[in-house]
């Protein structure tokens, strides 16, 4: 446990938020929570205080963490009538751990700063497994003083914690992360589909590749998903689509071409067209399998 218990607010208790909040509760902190969906049993049966609104959370807590799906969700959680901002008082810290627009993040930070509070954007990477195991990578943007204040909480939820720069820079790092993850999924999918279609056992090919330069976390975790056909999220395709939309729209504004990111997004789009918006993002392989008229695990002719 950190040196003394803190009053922490947590808004958004979905696949990622629930286990993240649980780590803070287990460390002995006093949590005030709110979520739009059903309250997870692990949180409902804990010492956490349930609040009827995000405003109620902000009124009671000194550090308020958000973990919601997209930019409009963060804006609503912060600035609606029953949102965080109306419940803030000077000296509190708002920490957005969602993955959203870097440009919108800077605007949100300015509005929170105007209320006499600090703002950190602190998106994460590592998915549901990382959230449950407290091994998330956390990319932070904001003032160093606020970062140092919140860092003990980050250390309860993750392992690789980096202050990247000012507000918005954490979100920029997360967009870059999602580009790399998407392109790695596509590469692993192509490789295992090729191997399977050529008549090799894709599970053994994956095992062989794990010992060489092609080894990666994506090959380890998502390569196994592709072979075993376990596409329950995880991290939903629709959320990765959202992140790549952020990458592509930001790239257009910057005059930067991201051709392979665009290709990965088209493969996700094809999955969604086949009813796969809630599949794990490793199911990108299904779009390639449709084009090949062959599935990994299918006996080659």
Residues with catalytic annotation?
174
Two tokens, residue 237: 């395709």
Cα–Cα–Cα angle for 62, 14, 108, nearest 5°? 50
Per-residue burial over 178-209, b = 16 or more CB atoms within 10 Å of its CB, e = otherwise: bbebbbbbbbbbebbbebbbeeeebbebbeeb
Task: Kindly tell me the sign of the dihedral angle through the C-alpha atoms of 251, 255, 258, 259.
Answer: positive
Q: Which residue has the tokens 């504004």?
A: 253
Distance CA 272, CA 1 (A): 43
Of 163, 162, 187, nearest to 261 by C-alpha is 187
Backbone angles phi, psi at 49, to 5 degrees: -95, 120
In 10 A of CB 111, how many CB atoms? 15
Distance CA 121, CA 99 (A): 9
Two tokens, residue 287: 């779009």
Distance CA 139, CA 120 (A): 10
Distance CA 105, CA 138 (A): 16
């Amino acid at each position: 446990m950190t040196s003394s218990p803190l009053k922490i607010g947590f808004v958004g208790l979905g696949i990622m938020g629930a286990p993240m909040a649980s780590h803070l509760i287990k460390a002995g902190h006093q949590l005030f929570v709110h979520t739009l969906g059903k309250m997870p049993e692990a949180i409902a049966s804990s010492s956490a205080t349930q609040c009827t609104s995000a405003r109620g959370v902000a009124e009671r807590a000194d550090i308020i963490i958000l973990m919601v799906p997209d930019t409009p969700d963060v804006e609503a959680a912060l600035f609606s009538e029953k949102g965080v901002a109306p419940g803030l008082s000077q000296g509190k810290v708002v920490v957005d751990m969602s993955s959203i627009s870097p440009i919108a993040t800077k605007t949100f930070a300015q509005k929170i700063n105007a209320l006499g509070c600090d703002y950190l954007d602190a998106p994460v990477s590592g998915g549901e497994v990382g959230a449950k195991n407290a091994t998330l990578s956390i990319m932070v943007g904001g003032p160093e003083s606020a970062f140092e204040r919140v860092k003990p909480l980050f250390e309860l939820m993750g392992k690789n914690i980096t202050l990247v720069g000012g507000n918005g820079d954490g979100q920029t790092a997360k967009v870059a992360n999602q580009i790399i993850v998407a392109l790695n999924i596509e590469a692993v999918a192509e490789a295992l589909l090729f191997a399977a279609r050529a008549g090799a056992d894709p599970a053994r090919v994956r095992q062989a590749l794990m010992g060489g330069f092609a080894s990666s976390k994506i090959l380890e975790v998502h390569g196994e998903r592709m072979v075993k056909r376990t596409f329950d999220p995880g991290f939903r395709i629709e959320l990765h689509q959202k992140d790549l939309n952020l990458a592509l729209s930001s790239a257009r504004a910057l005059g930067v071409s991201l051709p392979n990111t665009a290709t990965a997004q088209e493969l996700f789009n094809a999955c969604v067209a086949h009813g796969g918006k809630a599949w794990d993002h490793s199911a990108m392989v299904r779009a390639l399998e449709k084009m090949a008229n062959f599935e990994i695990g299918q006996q080659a002719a």
